[in-house]
Amino acid sequence: MIDTATLWDKCLEDLRYSVKDNVFTMWLRPLSAHQEAQTLIVRAPNDYFVSYIKKNHLNDIEQLVAKHSQGSIEEVVVHVDNASHSAHLDLEIDAKNVIDQASNSLFCESLFPEDSINPSPTPGSQRSQISSTIANSISVDSEAQKAAFADAADARSLSYLNPDFTFETFVTGKSNNLAYKACYELSKPQSKNRHNPLFIYGPSGLGKTHLMHSVASRYLKNNRSFYYFTSEKFINQLVYSLRNNKIEDFKKKIKKVDLLIVDDIHVLAGKTKSSNEFLTLFADFTSGDKQLILASDRHPSQMTEFDERFRSRFSWGLTVAVEPPEIDTRVQILQKKAAWFGMTLPKDCALFIAQNVVSNVRRLEGALNQVFANANLTGAPITLEMVQYALKDIVAMRVQAVNMDNIRKIVAEYYDVSVKDIMGRKRTRSIARPRQIAMALSRELTGDSFPNIGQSFGGRDHTTVMHACDKVAQLRAADPAFDKDYKSLSMMLQAA
């Protein structure tokens, strides 16, 4: 009987050729599937996606599933994928499952990543099964890459090197310029200006993976070899190798390439064996012509679960942050993504979305998808009114989380003062400053009027709020540490 991964791969393969590229990229590639008894559960990122897929593609999917499963699947349902993007952290424990599954010889093979780039695949071959199984580890050597690009049918097996994640599709601004430049620089052959290791950190959904895939794509174009791992795949493959006395083979294979990328490196914390093995590779990739890129959700100094040996090594080269993009960058990202999907997004609509989705580009994309799905379902043109309607739930959630009570509470906690102090009249700087910050955040995040904000802060005059906003703007421009605190607070509130 066909396994679910292969079945779904085959269905996607067929769908890819039956719809336009942008429809496939936007609506079908993000889907995943698993099987429960005789039901295939297709998972989509959100409700709009689900309704769009049901309306436009479910019939085709059902037919393809029936064809490829040869009747073993009786029903196909489409659900929201609540677990999407949730990290699967406990992999050393889970490794037993991996080993158990490895009794399937295809999977055993796949534990050595370079096997995933067999240059002469056929759709539905071992290769496509492998690719869906180890979707997060990639190795490409020059032989394989030529074959991979020569053969269009190969594209899906490289689909985990997201073809949309390139330097050309990345929008830069103050929030990510340094990370972009560092990546761009080291992706040039013989660059004299590269830092090793390059450590990129920042919250989820801000483009770290996008940038690392962009570097990998450039390496690919320049016939240079690389491995890309998420930490969890690195751990899986390491554990398998250790248990099967293949660790030296595994490391030898990795050491052959020019570039090693490990995403979500924080996942290695506490996994003693895996992290020690990683450290032995570290030395190889930070000398000579080799290059190491690491990404994490936090700065090395904050990775307290790692011992000092790791933290200091992580900071040997260049450590760069990616931060939430400013509003004009968010607008640009929206317009660029819209154009990419062949849609026109009027400026006022882009501005509305950017004002309401602030801290995470992945969510920005989600909101855009929702707008497009709505336009597709209703056939309505994209206008501000339509966008406001399509995003009413997002806006309501934001209004709920970002209210002035919450802002005062979070700012008070952050500066270790009481909410009573913030509301009160004391003018000592240790209290007046957090109060001004809370007012400025209220203005920025709720968009409420100066008089209303003054009223909510213990009946103050609107000029006090205006003065607070000016003062905070001046301090942010003059003092990077202050600016960072402000941004952290803003992000905390928007993630709430």
Binding-site annotation, residues? 205, 207-209
Q: Identify each DSSP E strand in 317-407 by its residue range.
A: 318-321
Q: Please answer whether residues 43 and 166 qualify as being in contact, where contact means their C-beta atoms are separated by less than 8 angstroms.
A: no
Shortest approach of ligand ATP to residue 314 CB, angstroms? 16
Pick between residue 124 and residue 203 the one whose CB is nearest to ligand ATP: 203
Residue 171 near residue 340, CB atoms below 8 Å? no
Q: For residues 157 and 138, what is the distance between their CA atoms, to the nearest angstrom?
A: 10
Whether 163 contacts 195, CB under 8 Å: no
How many Å is the Cα radius of gyration of the chain?
25
CB nearer to ligand ATP: pick between 11 and 171: 171
With CA atoms as reference, report the closest residue to 136 among 106, 107, 113.
113
Tell me the residue number closest to ligand ATP, measured at CB: 207
Amino acid identity of residue 105, one-letter, is S
Q: Which is nearest to 31 in space by CA: 231, 72, 19? A: 19
CA distance linking residue 391 with residue 186, whole number of Å: 39
Nearest to 230 by CA among 87, 92, 361, 131: 87
Least distance (Å) between residue 369 CB and ligand ATP = 11
Residue 208: CB minimum distance to ligand ATP, A: 4
How far apart are CB 473 and ligand ATP at their closest, in Å?
24
Q: Which is nearer to ligand ATP, 317 or 366 (CB)?
A: 366
Whole-angstrom distance, CA of residue 191 vs CA of residue 419: 53
Closer to ligand ATP by Cβ: residue 261 or 469 = 261
- Residue numbers in the known binding site for ATP are 205, 207-209
Q: Quick one: 333 or 410, whose CB is closer to ligand ATP?
A: 333
Count CB atoms within 10 A of the CB of residue 127: 25
Question: Strand, helix or coil at 496?
Answer: coil
Smallest gap from residue 146 Cβ to ligand ATP (A): 26
Toward ligand ATP, which CB reaches closer, 205 or 454? Answer: 205
Q: How far is the CB of 325 from ligand ATP (least distance, A)?
A: 6
- By C-beta, is 175 or 446 nearer to ligand ATP? 175
Q: How far apart are CA 95 and CA 108, in angstroms?
A: 13
Task: Name the residues that contact ligand ATP, by CB under 6 A.
Answer: 85, 165, 169-171, 176, 204-210, 297, 333, 361-362, 365
Least distance in angstroms from the C-beta of 13 to ligand ATP: 22
Q: Beginning with the edge strand found earlier in the chain, give each strand of the sheet holding 198-201 in spatial order.
A: 137-140, 226-230, 259-263, 291-296, 198-201, 318-321
